Amino acid sequence: MAVDERLDVAIIGSGPAGLAAAARAARRGMRHLLLEKTDHLSDTVYRYQKGKHVMATPAQLLLRADVGFEPGAREAVLDRWNRDAAEVGIAIRLEAEVTSISGSRGAFVLGLAGGETILAAHVVLAIGTQGNPNLLRARGVGEPGMPIVQYTLDDPGEYVDSHIIVVGSGDAGIENALGLAADPVQGNHVTILNRSADFARAKDANVKALFAARDAGRLTVLTETSPNRLEPGHMVVDTRDGEARLRCDRVIARLGSAPPRAFVEQAGVAFASAAREAFPTLSPTYETSVPGLYIIGALAGYPLIKHCLNQGHDVIEFIAGNTELKPADEPILEQRLGGLSPARSVAEWIALFRREVSIFRHVSPLQMRELLLDARVRQFAPGETVFVKNDVGASLFAIAEGEVEVEIAAGPPRRTAIIETGSIVGEVGLISGRRRGATVRAHGPATLVELPRNAALRLIGTVPQARAEVDRITTTRLLLQIFQSGLSAEDLAPILASAEQQTVRAGERIIAEGDTDDSLVVIRRGSCVVEKELGGRQVFLNYLPAGSYFGEMAVIDGSRRTATVRAAIRSELLRLEGREFRALFETRPELRARMLADMAARRSLTAFIEQEKHRFGSAIDLYSETAAFLMENGIGEATDMLLIDERLCVGCDNCEKACADSHDGLSRLDREAGRTFAYLHVPTSCRHCEHPHCMTDCPPNAIQRGADGEVSINESCIGCGNCVRYCPYGVIRMDAPPPPKPGLLSWMLLGRGPGPGEPPKAWVKAERKARGEAEPAKKAVKCDMCAGKAGGPACVRACPTGAALRVSPEAFLALARGGA
Amino acid sequence: MNAPIPAGAMRAPAEGRRTARHEGFLGHRRFFWAWVALLATAAAVLLYALDDPWPRPNGGTALGYALGTAGALLILWLSLLGLRKRRYTDGQWSLKAWVSAHVWLGLALGVIATLHTGFQFGWNVHTLAYGLMLLVILSGLLGVWLYARLPRRLSANRAETSERAMAATLAENDRALKEAARLLDDRSAALVEAAIRGPAVGPTLEQRLSGRVRRCATAAARARLDATDPALETVAALLGARAALLAQMRRHVQLKSTLQLWLLVHVPATVGLLAALLAHVVSVFFYW
């Protein structure tokens, strides 16, 4: 082959990235060739659903490619690209599949499927990741007779009268689900499963459309649900409350995709890590570890079309030797970082963040730029407050320079702890609705990167190492808090290195009585119950909330498990090696003493029950059954629950009246409704769940957890009713406050007004008419545990007989000696 | 680096806000008010026994005035419960504690006021006040007894439904009954119609307290319809369900009315007592 046949640049893949690169190369007059495996341009977009609306995010990013792009229908976008490609004069070769890449800068040899070779000085790889979807992991996938599992959906109109389950909470999954459910005439029963509680990875507009479709009854959205196995005609899923069986003819799994690694590695390109989702290591000019070989687009970690188009433009500029070119987002970032001191360039700041901050270490410079578009970089003077305890705040702070101090006790004596450069603070903001748990101040001058909650969730959702790092930090802090005993993070490092994370379903057994394993288990989220077999029956021993640990007996003396522990609700656990703990006992005898004390208390309770079983047999049975009843009624995820002892309740409804009169005339509890067992009644009233379901999708983020642990709705409620639908206990109502009533004495002495309690609807209507007022908009109303009221919850204070009590599950379910 | 707040540490820290212990109003704070009442009573009896007034014990001696003042102040305070239980203000108060003190101190009042009389009775406003006070105390005792016995029955009868749910079930049953009665002969249809129109619970207090309804149309319809007629099978079943539901509702109303019955004596007698007490105090000072 003659030298002049060598191309300046060969571009593989004609998606938005490759197309933009080819267009730039054509404009610059470079000898180029765009190679496309299929018989049309941009296969990924081509295979979008018919009529799909293609979005153009991030909105603030400027577009500077030579092919145009505006948000619109799939067909319009493809037409525009075909037209622009022809106009600019791109050299395209369709149905040309590249099977091998060898060589380096100046002398690449591309092998095509037909055996032909192409020579090029530079190669731009823009093949995306769609060819390598993440597979559905569930028993029964691909077996005969099972529901069909597919990873793409071309035309949702093809399917009728089917039970279709879409798995995946990203944009693709949501769009597929919406497409299948769009036309009621098709008669599809569409369900979308989301493993987590929110749709953090999807575009806002898609999430809104999904919820609108659900509210219109066109499809079902199941959150905190994941596939377990397929059965003929069905899918069995794990939900928060255990297994459920759904009708299912077809599964559409949209679980994202991973780079086609084998092919890329064969060309000599190094990846960031061994993880399946890892991206190739790239320089700021998109060059791989192979000089002259460039990777852009989804394969580089950028699935958004606008990014792809800009990268296509930029990579050709770099190849052409334009080293002065700044990325398209440079002006925005310059403005963001310009006011900081000392003055550094954007690239220098990015290098600093990636070097110093552990959660950014595995983020590519390009991803870092994108992250900074959402983030705020803030500098604090020594002693300046970063945030205050109990503030509402949902952002994560990464410490890039300096240190911060956390106030553990306001004092006196005031106690603080230092958090070093590179760590994070405010990670509690990642748990929805939590307020700041402590006041944080700068300790010396400090530079902090503040990531809003959604940006932080996206980071840990897309960079596995960042997730692992956040996990490591939060877990270390949890363990230090649980065990105290003067431990340091260094002490815990070996324990954490061998720790195993585990998610268990409601009711699943975690350790079994009589077993000989010796791990120590920490409950990170959820709660567990401890049971013991006595006389052939499982007797309830104890309730363990999140933040407690169990299994210490086997760790300390190697004895068999003395009790069985089950998850009360879906829970996240951390299993720690007993061996590592015993090693730590050598250097930290305080830890051993502390665990021995905990163990002695638990063991004596067990012994006591075993010993007294014959005396209190029926009482212990009743206690076990009562505990089981309360578990069924949500005490496992409650933090504070209203119970009524019906042996004392005279039915006066003073609790409801007090509730209404303490909160603008609307009662937040329904005393009579609800379940009862052994005279213990669980009225319809908020349990203040540890992970509140009501917060799942509150558009104005009006639901917050307060200083006393109460979950309450603030005045920014827009009355959409989402929380009412999400609450599994039916404790939220939509209503408008009634007009004010005449005072108590004028009711008692003169008979004016409806008297104490929530006024009857008829009175409210008549009163509004008399006042000439329209009915105000309905808003969500729920128990706020009488936050801010001295004396605490009015329902309990107003109970004349002591029937109403508010309990925390751990206090209520702790079996008191002799008082079973 | 022992800092922010892992998941478990964020649980409600609200021990201070959860002050209500699981004990009834009588045993509130380990019978604190029972002890206070017992001590007050014992002190009054002891003073009365040690006192040797001339010519005889009387409301007008020094001890008599002291006991009378204590009794009058107690009566005023005890009657304030009616206000307290309806004023849902903020603050560290508990209605259970008030009720506990109300019951025990009310019993102590019986002894204190009796000693105040010096056991002199007659047909006058003074003895009227004393009599009304005894009526209030005795009706209160009845209330305590009812409060101890009836709540379990109320709970067992309600069996996880609510008043609203019972009414809704009845309405649902009646809709089905009307539907089924359209195919019946005139006489049977009229019986069903009358059953539906009949009152669910007794219209008079006496009927509510007895848990029965005089000439219950549902019972009448069940008795008069021919149960062996296969055409009436659905209607008979629905009427049976209606009768069972009515029995539950009537029992519910019976128990709730009984729980309030004593108040019909207790509260008006208290109002009368306050008036008689005023007359007693004014007249005593007027004729001094």
Distance from CA of A96 to the nearest CA of B (A): 54
Where is pLDDT greater, at A792 or B147?
A: B147
Contact B155 A676 (CB under 8 A): yes
Distance CA A771, CA A750 (A): 21
**Are residue B138 and residue B248 in the same domain, yes or no?**
no
Q: Which residue in B240, B237, B253 sits closest to B158, CA to CA? A: B253
Among A418, A437, A791, whose Cβ lies nearest the Cβ of B4? A437
On whether the CB atoms of residues A678 and A647 are closer than 8 A, the answer is no
Share above pLDDT 90 across residues of chain A, in percent, rounded to a whole number = 35
Contact B152 A674 (CB under 8 A): no
Whether A582 has a pLDDT exceeding 90, the answer reads: no
Joined tokens for residue A591:
């830890």
Phi, psi of A121 (to 5 degrees): -80, -35
Joined tokens for residue B189:
């249809």
Whether B22 has a pLDDT exceeding 80, the answer reads: no
> What are the tens digits of pLDDT across the range A544-571?
888 888 988 888 888 888 889 999 888 8
pLDDT of residue A431: 65
**Are residue B76 and residue B175 in the same domain, yes or no?**
no
Among B8, B150, B163, whose Cβ lies nearest the Cβ of A548? B8
pLDDT of residue A616: 64
CA angle A181, A187, A193 (to 5 degrees): 45
| Mean pLDDT, range A107-117, rounded to an integer | 92
| Mean pLDDT, range A61-72, rounded to an integer | 87
From chain B, the residues in CB contact with A440 under 8 A are: 4
Share above pLDDT 70 across residues of chain A, in percent, rounded to a whole number = 96
Q: Which residue in A126, A537, A516 sits closest to A315, CA to CA? A: A126
Contact A438 B3 (CB under 8 A): yes
**Which residue(s) pair with A238 in the sheet?**
A226, A243
pLDDT of residue B112: 96
pLDDT of residue B101: 96
| Domain assignment of residue B105, yes or no | yes
Whether A460 has a pLDDT exceeding 80, the answer reads: yes
Whether A84 has a pLDDT exceeding 70, the answer reads: yes
| Domain assignment of residue B11, yes or no | no
Contact A791 B90 (CB under 8 A): yes
Contact A438 B5 (CB under 8 A): yes
| Domain assignment of residue B12, yes or no | no
Q: What's the total number of domains in chain B? A: 2
pLDDT of residue A283: 85
Q: Where are the domains of chain A?
A: 3-131+259-319, 148-253, 330-478, 494-612, 635-737+776-813
> What are the tens digits of pLDDT across the range A16-66?
999 999 999 999 999 999 999 889 999 888 888 777 788 887 777 788 889
Whether B37 has a pLDDT exceeding 90, the answer reads: yes
pLDDT of residue A815: 47
> What are the tens digits of pLDDT across the range A645-656?
999 999 999 999
Whether A443 has a pLDDT exceeding 90, the answer reads: yes
| Domain assignment of residue B6, yes or no | no
pLDDT of residue B275: 96
From chain A, the residues in CB contact with B169 under 8 A are: none
When computed from its CA atoms, the radius of gyration of chain B, rounded to whole angstroms, is 28
Where is pLDDT greater, at A523 or A59?
A: A523
B230 near A CB under 8 A:
no
Q: Specify the pairing of strand A189-193 against strand A163-167.
A: parallel
Whether B154 has a pLDDT exceeding 60, the answer reads: yes
From chain A, the residues in CB contact with B8 under 8 A are: 478, 481-482, 523-524, 545-548
**Are residue B142 and residue B266 in the same domain, yes or no?**
yes
**Are residue B60 and residue B149 in the same domain, yes or no?**
yes
One-character DSSP codes across A29-89: T--EEEE-SSSSS-HHHHTSPTTPEEP--STTSPP--SS---SEEHHHHHHHHHHHHHHHT
pLDDT of residue B15: 35
Distance from CA of B140 to the nearest CA of A (A): 14
Whether A703 has a pLDDT exceeding 60, the answer reads: yes
A794 near B CB under 8 A:
yes
| Mean pLDDT, range A352-380, rounded to an integer | 89
Q: Which of A159-173, A452-466, B138-152, B153-167 has the highest mean pLDDT?
A: B138-152
Q: Hey, do A3-131+259-319 and A148-253 end up sharing a CATH topology, with the first three levels equal? A: yes
Stretch (H or E) spanning A557: helix A552-557
**Are residue B51 and residue B132 in the same domain, yes or no?**
yes
**Which residue(s) pair with A542 in the sheet?**
A530
B30 near A CB under 8 A:
no
**Are residue B178 and residue B40 in the same domain, yes or no?**
no
Minimum mean pLDDT range among A213-222, A433-442, B84-93: A433-442
Joined tokens for residue A188:
């599809």
Tell me the pLDDT band of B249, cut-offs 50, 70 and 90.
very high
Question: What is the homologous superfamily of the domain A148-253 according to CATH?
Answer: FAD/NAD(P)-binding domain (3.50.50.60)
Tell me the pLDDT band of A818, cut-offs 50, 70 and 90.
very low
In the three-class reduction of DSSP (H, G, I as helix; E, B as strand; rest coil), residue B177 is classed as helix
| Stretch 177-206 of chain B: residues touching chain A, C-beta under 8 Å | none
**Max Cα–Cα distance, chain B, nearest Å:** 89
Distance CA A792, CA A802 (A): 15
Contact B152 A672 (CB under 8 A): no
Q: Taking CB atoms and an 8 Å cut-off, how many pairs form between chains A and B?
A: 218
**Are residue B39 and residue B182 in the same domain, yes or no?**
no
Tell me the pLDDT band of A806, cut-offs 50, 70 and 90.
confident
The whole domain housing B36 covers: 28-85+94-158+262-286
Q: What is the CATH number of domain A635-737+776-813?
A: 3.30.70.20
Residue A484: closest C-alpha in chain B: B2
When computed from its CA atoms, the radius of gyration of chain A, rounded to whole angstroms, is 31
* Mean pLDDT, rounded, of chain A: 86
In the three-class reduction of DSSP (H, G, I as helix; E, B as strand; rest coil), residue A326 is classed as coil
pLDDT of residue A118: 93
Whether B170 has a pLDDT exceeding 80, the answer reads: yes
pLDDT of residue A661: 92
In the three-class reduction of DSSP (H, G, I as helix; E, B as strand; rest coil), residue B54 is classed as coil
On whether the CB atoms of residues A111 and A100 are closer than 8 A, the answer is yes
pLDDT of residue A557: 80
From chain B, the residues in CB contact with A807 under 8 A are: 18
**Are residue B153 and residue B281 in the same domain, yes or no?**
yes
Whether A718 has a pLDDT exceeding 90, the answer reads: no
Phi, psi of A59 (to 5 degrees): -65, -30
| Domain assignment of residue B215, yes or no | yes
Contact B10 A709 (CB under 8 A): yes
| Stretch 715-774 of chain A: residues touching chain B, C-beta under 8 Å | 744, 748, 755-756
pLDDT of residue A485: 67
Among B5, B95, B98, whose Cβ lies nearest the Cβ of A428? B5
Joined tokens for residue A736:
């408008």
Whether A816 has a pLDDT exceeding 60, the answer reads: no
> What are the tens digits of pLDDT across the range A736-789?
999 999 988 899 889 898 999 999 999 999 999 999 988 888 999 999 999 888
A650 near B CB under 8 A:
yes
Whether B57 has a pLDDT exceeding 80, the answer reads: yes
**Are residue B153 and residue B224 in the same domain, yes or no?**
no
pLDDT of residue A770: 92
Residue A651: closest C-alpha in chain B: B256
| Mean pLDDT, range B18-26, rounded to an integer | 71
In the three-class reduction of DSSP (H, G, I as helix; E, B as strand; rest coil), residue B227 is classed as coil
| Domain assignment of residue B80, yes or no | yes
pLDDT of residue B254: 94
pLDDT of residue A108: 94
Q: How far apart are the first and last CA of chain B?
A: 80
**Which residue(s) pair with A527 in the sheet?**
A545
A388 near B CB under 8 A:
no
> What are the tens digits of pLDDT across the range B4-17?
333 333 333 333 34
pLDDT of residue B19: 46
Architecture of domain A330-478: Sandwich (2.60)
Q: What is the CATH number of domain A494-612?
A: 2.60.120.10
**Are residue B178 and residue B148 in the same domain, yes or no?**
no
**Are residue B170 and residue B221 in the same domain, yes or no?**
yes
Minimum mean pLDDT range among A1-5, A405-409, A805-809: A1-5
Residue A811: closest C-alpha in chain B: B15
Distance from CA of B225 to the nearest CA of A (A): 36
Whether B119 has a pLDDT exceeding 80, the answer reads: yes
Question: What is the homologous superfamily of the domain A3-131+259-319 according to CATH?
Answer: FAD/NAD(P)-binding domain (3.50.50.60)
From chain B, the residues in CB contact with A801 under 8 A are: 24-25, 96, 99, 147, 151
Distance from CA of A646 to the nearest CA of B (A): 6
Where is pLDDT greater, at A777 or A534?
A: A777
* Mean pLDDT, rounded, of chain B: 88
**Are residue B100 and residue B199 in the same domain, yes or no?**
no
Contact A546 B150 (CB under 8 A): no
Contact A797 B93 (CB under 8 A): yes
On whether the CB atoms of residues A177 and A210 are closer than 8 A, the answer is yes
pLDDT of residue A819: 36
| Mean pLDDT, range B43-54, rounded to an integer | 92
Where is pLDDT greater, at A51 or A280?
A: A280
